[in-house]
Structure 1
Amino acid sequence: MAYDRYVAICDPLRHSIILKNSTVAKISLAVLLRGAILSLPFPLLARQWPYCRTNIVPEPYCSHIVVVSLACTDIRVSSYYGLVVIFCVMGPDAIFIALSYTQILRTIFHLPTKDSRLKTFGTCGSHICAILAFYISMLFISFTNRFGQNVPRHFQVLISNLCALMPPMLNPIIYGARTKQIRDRLLRLFTQKGS
């Protein structure tokens, strides 16, 4: 999305030429391969550990670190690999997003009118909010499961549920708040109830 925003704002007349179906397919394939290659060792690592405790996962979904934490041996290899994957995925993503938004901001500040700058900045602002909602929640879940031994289990489960639900719940709000019709309708709804 950051690349799409970059092309749409920095080179709008060539958007359809730059982001052809074949280009989008190549980017999608690269992302899919990166995910598959980095995720493949997770089940292999989880399979090698001896499990002598309960087989009930105390979380609403089976993340790798939650499953291997049920093992009755040292799981540092799995934990370290999980951290490496997080930084190999989120690190380059953050760098590319920051680079594209640096270029976008430079372009925004060179737009001729204040209205066009505000409109473009609003579009990018909602995208940045959606990205932050996803990445921050994923980092929080990952670090809490690895380093939160003193955090009560029920709090970890609550945080995991919130982090799994918040990004999808926030996306319609983030993108919908920009739409004038939705804003007007919500404003009417709240002002009628208050009267």
Structure 2
Amino acid sequence: MQLDFKEIFTAFMILFAVIDIIGNIPIVIDLRKKFGHIESGKASIIAGIILIIFLFIGQNILSLIGIDINSFAVAGAFILFFIAIEMTLGITLYKNDESSSMTATVFPLAFPLIAGPGSLTTLLSLRAEYAVENIIVAVLMNVVVIFIVLKTSSKIERFLGPSGINIIRKIFGVILLAIAVKLFAANIKTLFELV
């Protein structure tokens, strides 16, 4: 096993940009308000496990159940779209009957927000270019960053204040909406080409 620091750094930066945990702070704060408590450590670990498992068996799982990567990405685009609508319009579409913080820790925080279709499809394309061990190190580095951001999200909220959070929430809602549209457009085009 030979670790290549250039590969690790590149894979880390690509995943960091796709996961966009800094941009997801308003969503994390919103989930904390809805459910009271989010388990940062658990959310980070679950997201890390999903990412690493998908790195090894993602393509096989999707092929086994007859879903191609493009259909998977389109489904993820819909989820991102509805989260973005909630953020920009200030409405609630996702209601949790149990009001459980554990449920919120796993869904929608660990999946699909952190380990979402964007990061999962990115992993499959990274695997084609980089050594698996370097990608794993990059994933673990991202998990550490995610944990730090999730753990300090309340401090960030206090620093920004309610109006600051509201402004950032709407800005990132629009950005998330754009990402959802881009993800949808890129993959729906490929799906129509396959038909």
Question: TM-score scaled by structure 2?
Answer: 0.35
Which one scores higher on RCO, CA 8 angstroms, separation ≥ 6? 2
